[in-house]
C-alpha cells in the first residue's frame, strides 16, 4: 500500500518561534481544537537531518563524553549522591510552577505540547523540577537527611542555536534535600569543582551571590525597579516590559545597553536579611577553607525563579571570545513546599555537558581511551564460523577483549585486519580445528603458534598476554 502523502506547504515556519508560555499555561481544554488536523509529516521532516539545535553525538566524539560520564558518576559516588532517573516528559504545570513565568525558559524556550489524551506536557528544560516532583511523590522526606540525588541526561530548550547553545543539551545534575546549612552549599560547589578539574579544565572560577529570602528579594526588586524606572529609556524593549513582569531578569539581559546600565544598579547583597547575610558569610568562609576560586558577582540572579539565598555559576576563565557558564546552581529552600511537599531546604547544581566537552576539546584535554582488543578471532569454513561465535562468547566471559571479522571469508583478509588492529594474539579456527575441537593460537609478537584444545584456549591466550590481560570487564561468574 502506498502511504498517503501529507506534505506541508514549503515555507511552513516552526510554530514555536513565538513565546509559547502564554498559550501553554492556559487552562486545559477538554476537547482538542477544531481546526483542520495538521499534516503528520512536513516536507522538511523528510530530509534525513536532525532538528536544528539537536545533534548526533557520533562514535568519534564518544571518548570525550565517556570521560565526562565517568567523572560525574565517580564524583556522585564519592560524595554520596544516589542516581535517580526521571522521565523526559512531565506535566507542563510542574515546570511553570517551579521555574515560573517571566523567565526565558518558560516564556520562550519550553517545548510543550498536548498529548492525544489532552494532557499539557513538556520536555524537561532542566532536572531540578522533575527530581523535586519525584522527591515528593515517593515520600523521600522520611529518609535520613540530607538526601543526595544525581542524574544525567538530555534536557530541551528552544534557544537560538549556536556553538555551546543547543536545543537538546546534556546536563549532569546534583541535588541535596533537607539541609539548610551553608556547608552543603560549599560541598555542592566542591563537587562541581572536583568534576571540572578532574576533566582537566584548569582555568575555572565560580561566581557567587546571595539573593536572600523572598522577602529580602522583594525589597531588592523594589529598589531595582525604582532605579531602572528612572533610566527606562536606556533599556531594551524586552527589559522595559520586564520592569513590570520580572525585573530581576533584566540583570540577565545580554543586550549591550542593558549590560551597561545594570552595572550601576543597587546590589542584592545590600538588601539581605540578617540570616541570609550570615548564611552567605559562612558560605564564603567555607569556600576559602576549600580554596575554591570564586568571585562575588552581585548581579548574578540566575535564569530560574526558584532560587533563594545562594546562587552560583562556574565559568571557564580563559576563553577567548565567547564566554559561557559551564554550570550553575543554587539554593531553593521553598520549592518543595511550593510544589506541595513538606518545607524542605535544598541546594543543587547542573553542569552543561556539551559546553564541558567543547572546553575539553578547546584546551586539548585527553579523551577517555576505550580499551583496545588484544585478541583477534579468525575462522575459515562454515563449521568454524559457527564454533567461533561460541568461542568469542567464552573469551568475553573471561573478560578477554576480542575482536573478529566474521563477515569475511578469506583467512588472508582476516589476518590483514588482525595486523592492522595490532592485536597480540590471533586465534585461528579452520575446518580441521573445528572438527577436532582445537584452535591455533598465534603469538603475533614472536610469530610462534601452537594448537590447543578449545577447553585450554582461554589459558593459552592468557599465557601469551601474561598478567596484563585487557579485561573488558571482570570475568563473569555463572550462577549456580
Ligand atoms: P542552568 O544554569 O539553566 O541551571 O543550566 C545549567 C547549565 O546548562 C548551564 O550552566 C549551561 O552550561 C548549560 N546550558 C544551559 N542552556 C544551554 C544550552 N541551550 N545549550 C548548551 N548548554 C546549556 C539549571 O538548569 C538548574 N536546574 C541547575 C540547578 C540544579 N539548580 C539547582 N539545582
Task: Give the domain CATH number at 193.
Answer: 3.30.930.10
Task: Give the span between the Cα atoms of 124 and 102, in whole angstroms.
Answer: 17
- Look at residue 219 and tell me if it is in a domain: no
Q: Beta-carbon neighbour count of residue 46 at 10 Å?
A: 9
pTM of the predicted structure, to 2 decimals: 0.87
- Same domain (yes/no): 281, 389: no
Ligand 1 mean position, distance from CA 83 (Å) = 19
352 lines ligand 1 (CB under 6 A): yes
Handedness of CA 17, 22, 28, 33 (dihedral sign): negative
Ligand 1 mean position, distance from CA 23 (Å) = 24
Query: By alpha-carbon position, which residue is closest to atom 11 of ligand 1?
Result: 352
- Look at residue 477 and tell me if it is in a domain: no
- Same domain (yes/no): 343, 402: no
178 lines ligand 1 (CB under 6 A): no
- Same domain (yes/no): 66, 197: yes
- Look at residue 16 and tell me if it is in a domain: no
Ligand 1 mean position, distance from CA 126 (Å) = 7
- Look at residue 73 and tell me if it is in a domain: yes
- Look at residue 11 and tell me if it is in a domain: no
Query: By alpha-carbon position, which residue is closest to atom 33 of ligand 1?
Result: 348
Ligand 1 mean position, distance from CA 65 (Å) = 17
316 lines ligand 1 (CB under 6 A): no
Domain count within the chain: 2
124 lines ligand 1 (CB under 6 A): no
Query: By alpha-carbon position, which residue is closest to atom 14 of ligand 1?
Result: 352
- Same domain (yes/no): 313, 462: no
- Same domain (yes/no): 428, 460: yes
Ligand 1 mean position, distance from CA 174 (Å) = 12
Give yes or no for a contact between 350 and 192, defined as CB atoms under 8 angstroms apart: no
List the CATH number of the domain containing 449. 3.40.50.800
Ligand 1 mean position, distance from CA 155 (Å) = 9
Q: Which domain holds residue 89?
A: 62-212+272-362
Give yes or no for a contact between 370 and 379, defined as CB atoms under 8 angstroms apart: no
- Look at residue 262 and tell me if it is in a domain: no
- Look at residue 311 and tell me if it is in a domain: yes
- Look at residue 321 and tell me if it is in a domain: yes
- Same domain (yes/no): 68, 140: yes
- Same domain (yes/no): 294, 394: no
Domain end point (choices 321, 339, 362): 362
Domain end point (choices 362, 396, 412): 362
- Same domain (yes/no): 176, 320: yes
- Same domain (yes/no): 353, 387: no
327 lines ligand 1 (CB under 6 A): yes
355 lines ligand 1 (CB under 6 A): yes
303 lines ligand 1 (CB under 6 A): yes
Domain end point (choices 329, 362, 395): 362
- Same domain (yes/no): 436, 325: no
pLDDT in tens, the chain (480 residues): 333 433 333 433 433 333 334 444 444 444 444 556 666 777 666 678 999 999 999 999 999 999 999 999 999 999 999 999 999 999 999 999 999 988 889 999 999 999 999 999 999 999 999 999 999 999 999 999 999 999 999 999 999 999 999 999 999 999 999 999 999 999 999 999 999 999 999 889 999 999 999 999 999 999 999 999 999 999 999 899 889 888 888 988 888 899 899 888 999 999 999 999 999 999 999 999 999 999 999 989 888 889 999 999 999 986 566 677 999 999 999 999 999 999 999 999 999 999 999 999 999 999 999 999 999 999 999 999 999 999 999 999 999 999 998 887 799 999 999 999 999 999 999 999 999 999 999 999 999 999 999 999 999 999 999 855 555 566 666 554
- Same domain (yes/no): 306, 379: no
- Same domain (yes/no): 297, 443: no
Query: By alpha-carbon position, which residue is closest to atom 16 of ligand 1?
Result: 165
Amino acid at each position: 500500500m502506498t502511504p498517503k502523502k501529507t506534505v506541508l506547504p514549503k515555507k511552513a515556519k516552526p510554530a514555536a518561534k513565538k513565546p509559547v508560555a502564554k498559550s501553554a499555561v492556559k487552562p486545559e481544554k477538554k476537547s482538542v481544537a477544531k481546526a483542520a488536523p495538521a499534516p503528520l509529516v512536513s516536507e522538511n521532516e523528510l530530509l534525513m537531518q536532525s532538528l536544528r539545535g539537536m545533534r548526533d553525538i557520533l562514535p568519534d566524539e564518544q571518548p570525550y563524553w565517556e570521560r565526562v560520564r565517568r567523572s560525574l558518576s565517580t564524583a556522585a559516588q564519592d560524595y554520596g549522591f544516589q542516581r535517580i532517573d526521571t522521565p523526559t516528559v512531565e506535566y507542563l504545570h510542574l515546570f511553570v510552577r517551579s521555574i515560573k513565568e517571566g523567565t526565558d525558559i518558560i516564556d520562550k524556550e519550553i517545548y510543550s505540547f498536548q498529548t492525544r489524551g489532552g494532557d499539557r506536557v513538556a520536555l524537561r528544560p532542566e532536572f531540578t523540577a522533575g527530581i523535586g516532583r519525584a522527591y515528593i511523590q515517593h515520600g523521600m522526606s522520611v529518609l535520613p537527611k540530607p538526601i543526595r540525588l544525581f542524574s544525567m541526561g538530555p534536557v530541551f530548550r528552544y534557544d537560538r542555536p549556536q556553538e555551546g547553545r543547543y536545543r537538546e543539551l546534556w546536563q549532569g545534575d546534583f541535588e541535596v534535600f533537607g539541609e539548610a546549612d551553608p556547608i552543603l552549599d560549599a560541598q555542592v560547589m566542591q563537587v562541581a569543582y572536583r568534576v571540572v578539574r578532574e576533566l582537566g579544565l584548569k582555568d575555572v572560577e565560580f561566581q557567587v551571590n546571595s539573593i536572600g529570602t523572598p522577602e529580602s528579594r522583594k525589597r531588592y526588586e523594589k529598589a531595582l525597579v525604582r532605579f531602572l524606572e528612572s533610566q527606562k529609556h536606556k533599556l531594551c524593549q524586552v527589559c522595559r516590559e520586564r520592569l513590570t513582569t520580572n525585573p530581576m531578569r533584566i540583570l540577565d539581559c545580554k543586550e549591550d545597553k542593558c549590560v551597561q546600565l545594570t552595572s550601576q544598579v543597587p546590589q542584592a547583597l545590600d538588601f539581605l536579611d540578617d540570616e541570609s547575610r550570615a548564611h552567605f558569610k559562612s558560605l564564603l568562609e567555607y569556600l576559602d577553607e576549600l580554596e575554591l576560586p570564586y568571585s562575588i558577582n552581585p548581579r548574578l540572579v540566575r535564569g530560574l525563579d526558584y532560587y533563594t539565598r545562594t546562587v552560583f555559576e562556574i565559568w571557564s576563565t580563559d576563553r577567548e571570545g565567547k564566554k559561557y557558564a559551564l554550570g550553575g546552581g543554587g539554593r531553593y529552600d521553598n520549592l518543595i513546599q511550593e510544589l506541595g511537599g513538606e518545607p524542605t531546604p535544598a541546594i543543587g547544581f547542573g553542569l552543561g555537558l556539551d559546553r564541558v566537552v567543547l572546553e575539553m576539546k578547546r584546551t586539548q584535554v585527553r579523551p577517555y581511551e576505550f580499551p583496545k582488543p588484544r585478541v583477534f578471532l579468525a575462522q575459515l569454513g562454515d563449521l568454524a564460523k559457527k564454533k567461533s561465535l561460541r568461542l568469542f562468547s567464552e573469551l568475553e566471559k573471561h573478560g578477554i577483549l576480542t575482536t573478529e571479522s566474521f563477515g569475511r571469508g578469506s583467512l588472508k583478509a582476516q589476518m590483514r585486519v588482525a595486523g592492522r588492529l595490532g592485536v597480540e594474539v590471533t586465534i585461528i579456527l579452520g575446518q580441521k580445528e573445528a572438527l577436532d575441537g582445537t584452535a591455533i593460537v598465534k603469538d603475533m609478537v614472536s610469530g610462534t603458534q601452537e594448537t590447543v584444545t578449545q577447553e585450554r584456549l582461554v589459558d593459552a591466550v592468557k599465557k601469551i598476554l601474561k598478567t596484563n590481560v585487557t579485561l573488558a570487564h571482570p570475568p563473569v561468574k555463572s550462577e549456580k
